Amino acid sequence: MPELTYLQAIRQALVDEMNRDPTVLLLGEDIAQYGGAFKLTEGLVDVYGPGRVIDTPITEAGLLGAAAGAALMGLRPIVEMQFIDFISCAFNQLTNLVAKFHYRTGKPLPLVVRGPAGAGVNAGPFHSQSPEPYFLHTPGLKIVAPATPSDAMGLLKAAIRDPNPVIYLEYKRLYRRLKETIPPERTHAIVPIGEAAVIRRGSDISVLTYGQMVHLCLEAAQQLEVSDGIELEIVDLRTIRPLDERTILSSVRRTNKAMIVHEPPRIGGPAGEIIARINELAFDYLDGPILRVTAKDTPVPYSSPLEEAFLPRVTDIVDAARWLARF
């Protein structure tokens, strides 16, 4: 049973869905002849032809508009942002037109916007961002952020089949570093949008996280269990909008303490919304303040030492957990 990298799992999901449904097509810059900036779509144009794997001009707003039109005509377009940072160039199309279409008309608009997100590869401030806070505020959009190859595969299939727009964040630092053996029966599994997963049971602190931060939290949990006897319960949110409120609150009610770890900078990040919901719905269960471990409130630095200081680190998670455990 072969291992799949995170990148290969995403590619396999695209292949599976294109084979299953002839209305699925790919649009993006350099995704056909060149195979994509990270070679994720390499060779697909030879299999499916230029009518289903479409090289577009360098205009994110234009390709979002074209994809929306295709969706209205009964197709299921998947738009690749060469880097997810460039989604800002299509902000109006996505937030004012695509996101509101179902609300205004009652009709579906099946469309996926996917692309490499996150820092940790020294790509600088224009190719390393985590833009989910901008879209968390926008009704009509779903946002998913898989942390493992199996979830990357299952969530992408769910996003493609969803009747309305989904932003799919994939972590470039995990593309070729993260591998997983996925049993054949799981390759066809759909990971439902809006369902978190408790990936590590613990009794002392609930750690709510997603994306590549999941792996730092697991490392911190192992370290704390050995060094301090502190047991972290780790909840992989998997979906940022809609949040799995039931799983979040259930975990917090068990442990009575909570931390949120995410890659976007602190101000306006998803942690604020999660903390608000816990305070509103589970305040009586808390035995301490809810902590946030996030990136710094600066642009993503290019310099490797500065980027490391910008991002949450395992030591940051460990220190916060120790403080909260003593509270």
Distance CA 298, CA 12 (A): 36
Q: With CA atoms as reference, report the closest residue to 208 among 297, 283, 273.
A: 273
Catalytic residue among 102, 127, 137, 215: 127
Compute φ and ψ for 229, nearest 5 degrees: 70, 20
Determine contact, residues 196/20, Cβ cutoff 8 Å.
no
Half-sphere exposure of 290 (CA within 13 A, CB side): 26
**Alpha carbon of 55 to those of 44, 46, 50, 63, 78: distances in Å?**
12, 13, 8, 10, 12
127 a catalytic residue: yes
First vs last Cα of the chain: how many Å apart?
47
Determine contact, residues 205/325, Cβ cutoff 8 Å.
yes
Q: Where are the beta strands (DSSP E) in 172-257?
A: 179-181, 197-200, 205-209, 232-236, 239-241
Q: Which residues contact 90 (CB under 8 A, 6 or more apart)?
A: 60, 61, 63, 64, 113
Distance CA 46, CA 52 (A): 10
Q: With CA atoms as reference, report the closest residue to 192 among 146, 231, 134.
A: 146
By annotation, the residues acting in catalysis are 127
